[in-house]
Amino acid sequence: MATSRRVRRTLATFGVAALLTAGCTLPAFAPRTEGEGAAAPTGSAPNWRPCPEVPDELVGRSAPNMRYECTRIAVPRDWGTGGGASAGPGAGQTFEIALLRARSTKQRDRVGSLVINPGGPGGSGVDTAVYLSFGPQFGGLPASITERFDIVGFDPRGVSRSSPVKCISDADLDASFGFDPDPASQSAFDGFVGLSQRIGRGCGDRYGDQLPLYGTEQAARDMDAVRAAVGDDKLTYLGYSYGTLLGATYAQLYPQRVRALVLDGAVDPQQRLVEGSESQARGFERAFTNFTRWCAANAGRCPIAPDARAAVTSAIDKAKVSPVRGADGREATAGWVFYAVISSLYTESGWQELAQAIDKLAEGDPKDVFRLADAYAGREDDGHYSNLFDANLAINCADETEKPSREQIRQLQSEWRGKYPLFGPALAVGMLSCVEWPGGRDPYPTGKANGAPPIVVVGTTGDPATPYEQTPRLASMLGVGRVLTWEGEGHTAYPQTSCITNAVDAYLIDLTVPPEGQRCPAR
């Protein structure tokens, strides 16, 4: 397993775990092994056990002055209206939810537990809690937080160690990532339709009428069981990207049980599939333009300057007709080059890596392109994938009620090619994944969190995956949201700078809400 490669990238930029939220394909870190031990029965006290093997597997060691404990809790597969459904798919059955608690040996004046979700959907909260426990030098949480809170990560239902969904073959995932991101001909477009149908059919055959049970509202109800399992009367929560949607749903369902929620990289719950996909196309196009401007101004660090857009576009176009073959025989098709670009835009620190990868590809070496794309895809050196994208589709498609026709998607592919030339067609075609998905739907609520305390909603002006425009919309929808803005680049903000860190820490520890309209500079 190529864990070390993924961990090095993760510890440097853990925010990459907060994944895209449209109905196409996306990144994260989820090991292929499941947790061990029996889950505590629903409603009973969990049995926490030491689990230093988890950080050992992910990082090779535990963080200094940090202890790790794990447990598993059982939750109803179908919560119904909150008390457990007595009829229908999954009635009387349970899912197992895996939890990890990182506790500092220097803990003092303990506030409680800080529950983490990294996004996706499909990202592992267990993994992310481990990464965050390593502190600021690795992009993790500051000591001001780890010395006051237990850091608790959980894998949502269907994800990694928590009754994982697994129904997409490695071969089909390779085909999906490697596919032309803009299948222009009708036959190429139909080929992607066929691939999406095959993936959907396989998952439908395996999970049938229980597919809607992986939706966000069910997972938000699980989160209240997590709150109870850690012994807190009210929830303190840090959610990134899709994790903001999960947190917002919790706030609507259990407003009186909220202590403090930080929602970083906001998803607008009221936008539907088409609107959300176009929003991401716009966001990635804007981030890519910022990358090209950086290249032009930093030619010494950007070997594809002065016209980085032309270099990347040319690389993708060439890969469509004559992909570079690596030493292992694997071909860097247009899809793999495209996902290397996507991967690199999640953090500003990835820009130089992208420029170098495109430059080496032009010289006949695709190794860095594959490294970037594989980090995004969760693809190991042996070609095996985690269940990240299986879970991503199961959750996204359970949530989504909108189903544009293939003809509408084909039209949007053309329209968005003109508006967002590099990313528009791929985000349009990516909607086929949910359009061709079987099973029913279980949409989450989109209303106010009446009775909840102020909730901090953090947005980054240069965020490609959850564009900044969604931040005030989420805050407004909740009715109790307070916007905190970072004028930076990349996906998610906390704890990137002292301004953001100080504001969020004060809220989490002392419940001091940031001033209305607070904006933090990029550096």
463 is annotated as an active-site residue:
yes
Question: Active site residue: 241, 279, 343, 433, which one?
Answer: 241
Other CB atoms closer than 10 Å to residue 324's CB: what's the count?
22
Query: Which residues, 6 or more positions from 456, have their beta carbon under 8 angstroms from its beta carbon?
Result: 260, 261, 262, 263, 481, 482, 484, 503, 504, 507, 513, 514
Distance CA 54, CA 73 (A): 18
CA-to-CA separations, 332 to 180, 313, 339, 367, 381, in angstroms, rounded = 11, 14, 11, 9, 15
3-state secondary structure of 445: coil
Give the total residue count for the chain.
Answer: 523
Q: Are 28 and 22 in contact (CB under 8 A)?
A: no
- Closest to 264 measured CA to CA, from 32, 25, 490, 36: 490
Q: Are 164 and 35 in contact (CB under 8 A)?
A: no
Question: Active site residue: 155, 264, 491, 505, which one?
Answer: 491
Q: Are 246 and 237 in contact (CB under 8 A)?
A: no
The two structure tokens encoding residue 91: 């009635």
Distance CA 3, CA 184 (A): 37
- Region of 23 (left: φ > 0; alpha: ψ -120 to 50; beta: rest) is alpha
Question: Active site residue: 78, 155, 232, 463, which one?
Answer: 463
Other CB atoms closer than 10 Å to residue 305's CB: what's the count?
18
Query: Which residues, 6 or more positions from 411, have their beta carbon under 8 angstroms from its beta carbon?
Result: none
174 is annotated as an active-site residue:
no
- Cβ burial, residue 370 (10 Å; 0-12/13-18/19+): buried
Q: Are 193 and 379 in contact (CB under 8 A)?
A: no
Write the DSSP assignment of 16-83 as a string of letters.
GGS---SSS-------SPPP-SPPBPTTSPP--EE-THHHHHHTSSPPTTEEEEEEEEEEES--TTTT
491 is annotated as an active-site residue:
yes
Please report, as a single letter, which amino acid is at residue 387. N
**Residue 74 CA to its chain's centroid (Å):** 24
CA-to-CA separations, 392 to 21, 26, 383, 395, in angstroms, rounded = 8, 8, 19, 5
Write the DSSP assignment of 170-216 as a string of letters.
HHHHHHHHHS-SS--SHHHHHHHHHHHHHHHHHHHHHHGGGGGGGSH
Residues involved in catalysis: 241, 463, 491
